[in-house]
Amino acid sequence: MNKLLCGVAFAAILTTGVRADDVEVLHWWTSGGEAAAVQVLKGDLESKSVGWVDMAVAGGGGEAAMTTLRARVTAGDPPTAAQMLGMDVRQWAEEGLLGNLDAVATAEGWDAVVPPAVQAFGKYDGHWVAAPVNMHRPHWVWANAKLFADNGLSMPSNWDEFFAAADKLKEAGVIPVAMGGQPWQEATAWEAVILSISPELYQKAIIEADAEALASPEIAQSFDIMRKLRGYVDDNFAGRDWNLATQMVIKGEAGMQIMGDWAKGEISAAGLTPGVDILCDVVPGTQGSFLFNTDFFAMFDVGDDKTAAQQSLASSVMSPVFQETFNLTKGSIPARTDVPGDKFDACAQKSMADLAEATDAGHLYGSLAHGHGQPAAIQRAYLDVVTQHFNSDMSSADAQAALIDAVAAAKM
Ligand code: BGC
């Protein structure tokens, strides 16, 4: 660290009152279920005499948190550690600002237990730079079991069944699909639609941002499905947070939500059992594939006196017992393959089994909406078009043309 940065960081420690054995952790886990998961991490650290200084920045998907992080680092006042998704880990590592975690990773054998797809983001240039805490899966449908039973419905396995169920729910006077209106939430649905059309389309049109795939008729088809979906969402969705949409399903005001398994954190926090009171299945047509996003903790260079606390944080996050306890609350599955699944609910157990199957079949992909598909600038191009289409009467053809242009411009 240069002297200037060091001096500024030291001044920040004085002003924020962060002690050498404290960690200031920037994160975006502020919903009920997320906050419960933070308590698990905080408690684990405190048992090791590492104090937790909370730097929570509200906003699902973490965009606001990443803006705050950038501002803090630019001001010469980085937090001790920050939650971040894979592409952000890579970007900060490229900038040379992340601490090296090799000593703790080697001592604890991370290489042998973390899936290669997660290692690809947690390591940079062969060195561990971030500790993975979980594997989330964004392409789930959550459904109110009582509403489904009362209306003779079962979980849909294709889009026709999904929309037929939505029609029945509408007739029954409930909102068929609870959605929050924020770009990342709309993109969570759209990327699942792409995957449902085919895993090859997801690989080409998203992971490779391939111009030919983006120009294919399947992309127009994805916008047709999004338009149809929009017809089953209530008019008040704009700006709604994801967890409020989950609450609508929990309370029986809405029948279904397409959302990642962090929704399970809300379900458990409400005292309900995922898979029983709130049904889960993957988005129709996506069985056999697995999109993932992993929350990492990366360490910033805030002076040598912080290294021990940072290593404790990294070591805590990676301990098998912690990964079990934390992920039981968070809704995700562990980022280690050696944690037993027996304490997990049926939805998480399905996730574990599906992950193994998709990995073997070569159908495991990073989530675009959740920072594992494309770097932030290209990701933004996709999200802008998807949200513009969903929030207007734009045709599928126009949305496709806009997407082709936006992605090409972002790639330059
Ligand atoms: C994160 C989750 C978080 C969700 C909603 C995702 O990008 O990976 O940990 O719960 O956003 O905020």
Residue whose Cα lies nearest atom 4 of ligand 1: it is: 61
127 bridge partner residues: 124
Ligand 1 center–CA 83 separation, angstroms: 10
User: Is the beta carbon of 370 within 6 A of some atom in ligand 1?
Assistant: yes
In which residue are the tokens 């129709």 written?
A: 284
Cα 105–chain centre separation: 23
Atom of ligand 1 nearest to the CA of 30: 12
Q: For a substitution probing ligand 1, which of 295, 317, 329, 379 has the most ligand atoms within 8 Å of its CB?
A: 295
pLDDT at site 191: 99
Contact 260, 191 (CB under 8 A): no
Chain Cα centroid distance, residue 308: 28
Extract the tokens encoding 251: 């309370």
Cβ–ligand 1 contact at 33 (below 6 Å): no
Instruction: Give nearest CA residue, ligand 1 atom 1.
Output: 61
- Using the mean position of ligand 1's atoms as its centre, give its distance from the Cα of residue 358 in Å: 22
- On whether the CB atoms of residues 314 and 101 are closer than 8 A, the answer is yes
Which atom of ligand 1 has the smallest separation from the CA of 60?
A: 12
Atom index in ligand 1 nearest the CA of residue 293 equals 8
Nearest CA to ligand 1 atom 9: 295
Shortest-distance Cα residue to atom 5 of ligand 1: 60
Q: Which residue, 391, 40, 382, 404, is CA-closest to 190?
A: 382
412 residues of the chain, pLDDT tens digit each: 333 334 334 334 444 556 778 999 999 999 999 999 999 999 999 999 999 999 999 999 999 999 999 999 999 999 999 999 999 999 999 999 999 999 999 999 999 999 999 999 999 999 999 999 999 999 999 999 999 999 999 999 999 999 999 999 999 999 999 999 999 999 999 999 999 999 999 999 999 999 999 999 999 999 999 999 999 999 999 999 999 999 999 999 999 999 999 999 999 999 999 999 999 999 999 999 999 999 999 999 898 999 999 999 999 999 999 999 999 999 999 999 999 999 999 999 999 999 999 999 999 999 999 999 999 999 999 999 999 999 999 999 999 999 999 999 999 9
Q: 60 CB under 6 A from ligand 1?
A: yes
Distance separating alpha carbons of residues 11 and 8, to the nearest angstrom: 5
Q: Ligand 1 centroid to 267 CA: how many Å?
A: 15
Task: Compute the distance between CA of residue 170 and CA of residue 403 in angstroms, rounded to an integer.
Answer: 32
User: Are 201 and 194 a contacting pair, CB within 8 Å?
Assistant: yes
Domains of the chain, first to last: 3-136+292-347 (3.40.190.10), 140-291+363-411 (3.40.190.10)
- 325's CB contacts (< 8 A; 6+ apart) are 40, 44
From 293, 333, 372, the mutation candidate for ligand 1 (largest count of ligand atoms within 8 A of CB) is: 293
Q: Which atom of ligand 1 is nearest to the CA of 31?
A: 12
Q: Is 295 in the pocket of ligand 1 (CB under 6 A)?
A: yes
CB 213 within 8 A of CB 205: yes
pLDDT at residue 187, as a whole number: 98
Interval between CA 332 and ligand 1 midpoint (Å): 10
The answer to whether the CB of 274 is under 6 A from ligand 1 is no
Neighbour count for residue 339 (Cβ, 10 Å): 19
Q: Are 228 and 163 in contact (CB under 8 A)?
A: yes
CB of residue 62 inside a 6 A radius of ligand 1: yes
Any idea of the CA torsion for 322, 340, 138, 151, to the nearest 10 degrees? -120
Nearest CA to ligand 1 atom 7: 61
By DSSP bridging, strand 254-259 and strand 175-177 are parallel
Cα gap 256→241, rounded to integer Å: 15
Pairwise CA distance, residues 256 & 245, whole Å = 9
* Residue/partner pairs of 406-409 with CB below 8 Å, 24 or more apart: 406/381, 406/382, 407/209, 407/211, 407/214, 407/378, 407/381, 407/382, 408/211, 409/381
